[in-house]
Amino acid sequence: MYATGIVIFVTFILFCARFSDSVHDRNPVPFSKLATCQEFDIDSHKCLHFFPLETIKNYQTKEYKLHLKFYVMATNDANIVLTNGYGEGTVRYTAVIAGGGNTYSWLTNTSATTLGLESHLTDILSPLWPTPIVVRQKTNGLLDVSIPGVAEPLLLADASDLTEVKSFCLYAWRNKSRWFYNCTEPEDILLDKNTDCNSRRGQCQLFVGFEK
C-alpha cells in the first residue's frame, strides 16, 4: 500500500513537471498582447483563405526578406502555407507545427516531401494559451520557423526555389484554431510608416475573406 502511494506520488510529480515545462510556461504570451492584434478563426482540414503578403507586417532586413510573426491557439497540427502565387501557386512550403498529437513538427515542399530540420518538441500548442510562431526566410532562401525563447529554430530547410512569397494561408488540421497577427511588436520600428500594414488596417481586413 505504501509502495503504491509512492508510485502515484512520483507519477503526479512527473506529470506536473512536464506541464510546468510546457512552451506556454517557458515563454508565456499575455492576453493583453492579443488585444493589439488582428484575429483569424478557422475550423478546417485545408487552406480556405490565402492572404496576400502585403496584408501582414513583414519585418524585412538585409539578411531576411521574410519575417512574419503569429500567435496561434489550437489543439494540434497548426499549418502555415507559403506560396509564390495569390492562391496555391506553383511553389509551396508548409510548416506543420505540433502534428502527431502535439509531438512532431516538420516542413514540406511543393511535392509534400519532408525536408530539413524536424522537431520532436512536445506540447507546443494549446487551445487555451497562445503559442508564438516566427517564420523567416533569408535572402539566400533558407527558411526557418521558431518558437521564440523555446526553439530557435524549430524547423529549418533550404527553400531557395521559393524566390518570392506572395501569399500565405493558416489553419489547423481538423480542429478549430485562432490566429493572431499584425500585433504591436518591438520590431515595428523596422517598418516603413508609409507602407506598413498597421497603417492600412482597413485594407488588411478586406483580405480576410479572400478565397482560392
List, for residues 42-89, the tens digit of each pLDDT value: 999 999 999 999 999 999 999 999 999 999 999 999 999 999 999 989
Instruction: Find the range with the poorest average confidence among 2-11, 105-114, 140-149.
Output: 2-11
Amino acid 208 reads: V
Fold of 30-209: Jelly Rolls (2.60.120)
The string of DSSP codes covering 2-46 is HHHHHHHHHHHHHHHHHHHTSHHHHS---HHHHTTSEEEEEEESS
> Residue 145 in contact with residue 80, Cβ under 8 Å?
yes
Three-state SS at 182: coil
> Residue 50 in contact with residue 169, Cβ under 8 Å?
yes
Mean pLDDT, to the nearest integer, of 208-212?
39
**Residue keyed to cell 526557418:** 144
Mean pLDDT, to the nearest integer, of 95-121?
98
Q: Return phi, psi of residue 146, to 5°.
A: -130, 155
- Eight-state DSSP code of residue 169: E
What is the pTM for the complete model shown?
0.82
Structure confidence at residue 139 as a pLDDT band (50, 70, 90): very high
Instruction: Give the start-to-end residue ranges of the domains of the chain.
Output: 30-209
Q: Grid coordinates in use for 84?
A: 509564390
